[in-house]
Chains A and B, each alone.
Chain A
C-alpha cells in the first residue's frame, strides 16, 4: 500500500481513480525506462560496443527489474476499487497538495529569476513568496525573517567563503 492509499484509508476519503493512481505510481519506473531508451538511441551504433557493455548491463538489469515491478503494481492496481473519476481524483490531489504545488511554482520562478535580476533580489522575492505560500501573513515578521536570512547568506557565503552568486543589473 502506498502512502497516498494509506492516507485515503486512514481518513476514509473516497478512493481515487485507478488510472490516476497508476499514472503517479508508475511514473518513476516509466521515467527509468524512457531514460534507458534514450540512452540506447543516443549510443547504439555510434559508440564501439566494447565500451557499451557496462551501461547496457545496467540497462538489462534495470529492464528485468522494471518488468517485475510493473507486473506486481499492475496486478495490485487491477484489484482495487475506485469511487472517483480521473478528473475528480486529480482535483482532489491538487486540493490536498495545494501548498506543495504553490511552492513548486514559486521555486521555479525564483530559480528562473536568479540570472536576470541577481541572486539577492531573486532570493528576497523567493523568500517572501514561499513564506506567503506557507501561510505566513504578518508583513513585519516576513520582512525581518527575509532580511535575517539574506544577511546570513551574505556573511556566510559571500564574505566568509568568497562565493560569487549571479549578479543582476543592480549588482546584487
Chain B
C-alpha cells in the first residue's frame, strides 16, 4: 500500500489551500529568500531562527511556513552566488563557479534568470515525484547503513577534489585538512577532548557556518576592497528581458535540467547527504558530460542549471529520509526534524501511518512555495542585480557587518566571529595559491558524518576493516572512488605517451 495515497492528496490540498496558509507561504518564501541571500545566513540558520516563532502556530501552519522558508532560503543562496561570488547557503556553493563569472562577463541578469527558473522547476517537479515516490525512495535510503554513508562521504570528497581546480592533490589536501578540522572536537564515543586549543567554542563541534562564511565571504572582501565595484563593467544591462532570456535558456535545456534534478533527488534522499554534496556532484556530472568541459567554471550557464536544479530537488528529496526514517538529509532538514517533534509529529516509518495527511501537506506546500518563489524572485531580481554595480567601498563594510552578525547569530558566540575571520585569511591564502576552497568546506561539513559512520561501523564489526567492503553498494562506491581518482592521471599519462609518439613520428 502506497503511504501517500492519491485520495489523501485531495484532502491535503483542502487543508493547505486556505488564505491563512497561502499568506504564511508567501511571507515564508520572501523571508527565506531575503535571509538566504545574506552571506552567512544559511538555510539552516534561517529555519532555525524561525523555529521558535512557529510555536504558537498549529502544526500544519508551522510546518508549511518552515517548508516555505526552506524553499526561499534554498533559492536565496543563489543571489549572492551570482552577484558577489559568495554563496548565501552551502547548497549554492557550486552555483558560484559559473554564475559569478557570468556576472563578471555582464550576464548577471541572465544568470539570475537561470538560477530562478532552474531552482523553481527543480523544486516543483521533484516535489511532485516525491509525492508519489516517498515509500520506494525510503526503502532505498534504508539500504544506506553507516558503512555506505562512510564510503559515500569519501566518494563525495574525492569527486569534488577531482572536479574542482586543476590539481587533484591540492584539492585532496584541502579536503583532508577539512576532515581533520572536523575531527578536532571531543571524541564522539568517549567524550575525551582532542584538539580544541582550550576554546569551549570548539569543544563539541566545529561550527561550519563561520567556516563557510569566512572562507567565501571574508576572503572575497580582501579582493573586493581593492576594486571600485564588484563588476567594474558599468555597462551591465539589467532588464527583465535578460532575466527571461535566462528562463528561456533553462527551458531549452530540458535534459540538463532533469539530469540535475534526478541527481538532487537521489542524493537528497540519502541520509546525511544534502545540498552541499548534490550541487557539486551535479555540477561535476554536467562538466564531465559536456562537449566543452573546460568552459565550466568560466561562466557556463549549464553549470548554474546543474547546481540550482539539483539543490532545489534536494529540498524535496531530503525530506524523504527525514519523514520516512527520522534521519535528516541535510542541516536544514535536521531543523525540520526538530520542528516535527516540536509540533507533536514523530518522524520515522510510522509517520506515514499516523501522520499521512501532515506528510502530504508538507510535500504539497513545497509545490505551492515554488510557485510563490517564481513570482517573488522574478519581481525582485531586476533590482537585486544592481548590487554588482554598487561601489565596493559600500558593499565591503556592509558585508562585513552582516557576516559578523550572521556568524554570531547561531550560537551567540564572539568566538564564532573570530573563527570566521581566521578562516577568511585562510581562504585568501588558499585562493592566492590555487587551492580550491570547496573541498575544505566539504571536509568540515561532512567530517562529523563520515567520522560518526566510521566509528559506528567499527563498533558493529568489532574493528574489522573488511566490513567497509562487505556490501554491494559499498563496493560500487569504492570502485567509483578509484575511478574518480585515477582516471584523470591515467588519461593524462596516456595522452602524454600518444603525443610524444606523434611528435617522434612527425
B is a partner of A: yes
Residues of A near any B CB (own CB < 8 A): 2-4, 24-25, 27-29, 31-32, 35-36, 38-39, 42-43, 46-48, 50-51, 53-55, 58-59, 61-62, 65-66, 68-69, 72, 97, 99-100, 102-104, 107-108, 110-111, 114-115, 119, 123, 126-127, 130-131, 133-136, 145-146, 149-150, 153, 157, 161-166
Are B177 and A126 touching (Cβ within 8 A)?
no
Instruction: List A contacts of B426 (CB < 8 A).
Output: 28, 31
Instruction: List B contacts of A153 (CB < 8 A).
Output: 401-402, 405
- Chain B contact residues: helix, strand, loop or mixed: helix
Instruction: List A contacts of B430 (CB < 8 A).
Output: 28
B418 part of interface (Cβ distance < 8 Å)? yes
Are B400 and A130 touching (Cβ within 8 A)?
yes
Are B195 and A145 touching (Cβ within 8 A)?
no
Smallest CB-CB separation from A122: which chain B residue?
Answer: B404
Instruction: List B contacts of A55 (CB < 8 A).
Output: 180, 183, 194, 451
Contact with A along B399-427 (1 / 0, CB 8 A): 01110110011001010011001000110
Residues of B near any A CB (own CB < 8 A): 49, 52, 167, 169-170, 172-173, 176-177, 179-181, 183-184, 187, 189-190, 192-195, 218, 221-223, 225-226, 228, 391-394, 396-398, 400-402, 404-405, 408-409, 412, 414, 417-418, 421, 425-426, 428-435, 450-451, 454-455, 458, 463
With both chains docked as a complex, state the minimum distance between the C-beta of A153 and any C-beta of chain B, in angstroms. Answer: 6
Given contacts A103-B222, A104-B222, 11 further A-B contacts (CB under 8 A): A2-B434, A28-B173, A59-B180, A103-B221, A110-B400, A111-B417, A134-B396, A136-B394, A145-B397, A153-B402, A157-B409
Are B421 and A108 touching (Cβ within 8 A)?
yes
Are A29 and B173 touching (Cβ within 8 A)?
yes
With both chains docked as a complex, state the minimum distance between the C-beta of B436 and any C-beta of chain A, in angstroms. Answer: 11
* 8 nearest A-B residue pairs (beta carbon): A134-B393, A130-B397, A62-B176, A127-B397, A136-B393, A55-B183, A100-B222, A32-B177
With both chains docked as a complex, state the minimum distance between the C-beta of A86 and any C-beta of chain B, in angstroms. Answer: 18
Option from A29, A126, A136 in Cβ contact (under 8 Å) with B401: A126
Instruction: List A contacts of B49 (CB < 8 A).
Output: 161-163
Q: How far is the CA of A24 from the CA of B425 in the complex (A)?
A: 12
Q: How far is the CA of A108 from the CA of B223 in the complex (A)?
A: 17
Instruction: List A contacts of B454 (CB < 8 A).
Output: 53-54
Option from A54, A62, A99, A130 in Cβ contact (under 8 Å) with B451: A54
Give 22 pairs: A residue, B residue, CB < 8 Å, sorted on A: A24-B432, A24-B433, A27-B429, A27-B433, A36-B180, A39-B195, A47-B190, A47-B192, A50-B458, A51-B455, A54-B451, A55-B180, A65-B169, A100-B223, A114-B404, A123-B404, A130-B397, A131-B393, A135-B393, A153-B402, A163-B412, A166-B414
Instruction: List A contacts of B193 (CB < 8 A).
Output: 42
Q: How far is the CA of A119 from the CA of B242 in the complex (A)?
A: 40
Q: How far is the CA of A157 from the CA of B407 in the complex (A)?
A: 12
Option from B181, B400, B433, B451 in Cβ contact (under 8 Å) with A28: B433
Option from A25, A42, A161 in Cβ contact (under 8 Å) with B194: A42
Option from A58, A102, A111 in Cβ contact (under 8 Å) with B183: A58
Q: How far is the CA of A119 from the CA of B417 in the complex (A)?
A: 12
Smallest CB-CB separation from B402: which chain A residue?
Answer: A153
A25-B433 CB under 8 A given contacts A39-B194, A115-B414, A130-B393: yes
Instruction: List B contacts of A164 (CB < 8 A).
Output: 412
Are B225 and A99 touching (Cβ within 8 A)?
yes
Option from B167, B397, B414 in Cβ contact (under 8 Å) with A114: B414
Are A126 and B400 touching (Cβ within 8 A)?
yes
Are B226 and A99 touching (Cβ within 8 A)?
yes
Are B463 and A62 touching (Cβ within 8 A)?
no
Are A62 and B180 touching (Cβ within 8 A)?
yes
